[in-house]
Amino acid sequence: MSNQIPNSALTIGIDIGGTKVLGGVVDSLGQILSTARRDTPKSGGDELYLQISEVISELLNNHKVAGIGVSCAGIISSDRRTVISAPNISNWKAVSLGDRLEKEFSLPIVIENDANAAMWAEYKFGAAKDFNPVMFFIIGTGMGGGFVVDGKLYRGAFGIGAEFGHMKIQSGGILCGCGAKGCIEQYASGSALMRYAKEGIAVDANTGQDLLNFGDGTLNGLTGTVLTKAAQANNKIAISAFNTCADWLGSAIASYTLLLDPEAIIIGGGVVDAGELFLRPVREAMAKYMPFADTHPSPKIIAAKFGNNAGLVGAAVLVRG
């Protein structure tokens, strides 16, 4: 179906994550009018399809919509119809999700990678607006990437373009969820941050306990929020964990800059809760590692505007074509 959707019409955005399926009715300005959610079933597959279908039906009960955009963590075919693989969801490989949803709901459907969808929300309504080209990193547990050039999301030939989290920075390095070793995601992400903090705690028990006391006092209670609070209160291990993460990211950004020459780089996801505490050392590392330093302007490094709703909003807007 063609996606000639008028501005006055509403669309649905669905965000399929490892733990939940979140749906929302969204207007042409990116405002969410209502939401519905279900848990992502552990079994994935058909059970998951059923939950997605229920979320959509619930939203359709109260709103007339003109299309459905779906954001899904994983590799999506370049025609935006099929989930090729989704490492965090069981039995979710080679799923003809676009065809199945279109058949059930008779509406235009677009499936998009979650980071691309989030990037699109930032480009249309958020921090990426007015920059060209502009890169996007979404750094939660892992690291997703998006790239908009001349007003279009860059997907590459086979749909895996702009997967910035899987650039190799260490030959023979840490094994990554993608199956390769030494990806930047393993060195600059929420999970890397936790690893650095745990390494620090193992070396300095006293400072480590001070850090853990920002949570429930135990290693099990160590979360991104705890780490951020501790860093804001000047805990040395927490600050060092953020700095190590920022150093890797800044060094990778220096390489990406030579490859893509972005005007700005937007950073979203959980790490941005730490704000300048994280972004400042990223900028410093970028400057430190930049090739041909001082011969060209460096990209601006800016925090994303959208939080957890970015994928939902971006997907809903993408189906407008």
Residues that bind Zn ion (CB under 5 A): 166, 176, 178, 180, 183
9 vs 178 by CB, closer to Zn ion: 178
- Nearest CA to 143 among 163, 160, 161, 165? 165
Distance CA 56, CA 76 (A): 20
**Nearest approach, Cβ of residue 165 and Zn ion (Å):** 6
Q: Is 75 or 317 the residue whose CB approaches Zn ion more closely?
A: 75
In the complex, minimum distance from the CB of residue 182 to Zn ion, in angstroms, rounded to a whole number: 8
Which positions ≥6 away from 308 have C-beta within 8 Å? 22
- From the CB of 21, what's the least distance to Zn ion, in Å? 25
| CA angle 42–48–53, rounded 5-degree value | 155
Closest distance of CB 315 from Zn ion, Å: 23
Beta carbon nearer to Zn ion, 138 or 274: 138
3-state SS assignment for residue 118: helix
**Cα dist from 115 to 229, 235, 261, whole Å:** 26, 31, 20
Residue number, 89 or 176, with CB nearest to Zn ion:
176
By DSSP bridging, strand 10-16 and strand 75-76 are unpaired
Tokens of 281: 């050392």
Quote the DSSP letter at residue 24. E
Between 51 and 189, name the residue whose CB sits nearer to Zn ion. 189
Residue with Cβ nearer Zn ion (178 or 303): 178
Q: How far is the CB of 166 from Zn ion (least distance, A)?
A: 4
As measured in angstroms, the least distance from the Cβ of 60 to Zn ion is 37
Angle, alpha carbons 149-319-153 (nearest 5°): 15
CB of 85 to Zn ion, least distance (A): 13
Q: Tell me the DSSP string of 209-261.
A: HHHHTTTTSSGGG--HHHHHHHHHTT-HHHHHHHHHHHHHHHHHHHHHHHHH-
Query: Of 62 and 85, which CB lies nearer to Zn ion in the complex structure?
Result: 85
Asked if 249 and 190 touch (Cβ cutoff 8 Å), the reply is no
